[in-house]
Chains A and B, each alone.
Chain A
């Protein structure tokens, strides 16, 4: 692994299903972030974690949950997917909240 990876690359999901998007980084970065990117809108922060064991809510947290059990992994869970959660999801990391963020390749999620 080099950098930050996300899985799956893309997914089509029925409404009401539970889904976990995975994010793993090998840079030993303390801070990690989940964004969604929708056409015509800027990246919007869903949840973040400044260090392992802590998480915080971003701008659009409703319907999503995260955990940060260790430094490397930051999964994002949709408990019961809805069509408005159709989006491209990016995970990012930074060695501190003060520094630039590095992004994973993204997950394209379609909820029908």
Chain B
């Protein structure tokens, strides 16, 4: 079967750094996506990894290790507006996205 695992909830402090992990087992791999979803809103695209390594985009970075079936999203200089759910999704051999249940990130002052 196909499976995406993420922690259900994480708490961090404003100004700090947090790492959200994602492990996956899918039928094929054609890229991994991270999306942000604020409560009651639609998911919005954050990052995409298809090759091993780190992709940096401002305060957000995403890492991929295909051999380990593992990715993480790193958020630096946390702001209160970063309180949201972070969704990991893997594109499988059929080019369909398989989604994790999401990690709810709570930022405290």
Cα distance A101–B101 when bound, in Å? 17
Across the interface, A42 reaches (CB within 8 A) one of B41, B42, B48, B100, namely B100
- Given A44-B99, A103-B44, output 10 extra A-B contacts at Cβ < 8 Å: A35-B99, A42-B4, A42-B87, A90-B43, A98-B30, A100-B33, A101-B45, A104-B42, A105-B41, A106-B42
* Residues in A80-112 with C-beta less than 8 Å from chain B: 90, 97-98, 100-106
Tally chain B residues at the interface, Cβ within 8 Å.
Answer: 19
Whether B45 and A42, one on each chain, are in contact in the complex, defined by CB atoms closer than 8 angstroms, is no
Seen from chain B, the residues whose Cβ lies within 8 Å of a Cβ on chain A are 4, 30, 33, 41-45, 48, 87, 89, 95-102
**Cβ–Cβ contact A43 & B87, under 8 A:** yes
> Which A residues lie within 8 Å of B99 (CB)?
35, 42-44
> Which secondary structure characterizes the binding site on chain A?
loop
Q: Which residues of the partner chain A approach B87 to less than 8 Å between Cβ atoms?
A: 42-43
Asked if A8 CB lies within 8 Å of chain B CBs, one says no
How many of chain A's residues have a CB under 8 angstroms from any CB in B?
Answer: 20
Q: Is the CB of B45 within 8 A of A100?
A: yes
A98 touches B42 (CB 8 A): no
* Chain A residue contacts of B95, Cβ below 8 A: 97-98
Report the Cα distance A84→B43, complex, angstroms.
Answer: 23
The docked-state distance in angstroms from the alpha carbon of A104 to that of B43 is: 9
Are B43 and A45 in touch, CB under 8 angstroms? Answer: no
Q: Which 6 pairs, one residue from A and one from B, show the smallest C-beta to C-beta distance?
A: A42-B99, A103-B42, A43-B99, A100-B45, A97-B95, A42-B101
Q: How far is the CB of B88 from chain A (nearest CB, A)?
A: 9
Contact partner, A48, options B30, B41, B96, B98, Cβ 8 Å: B96
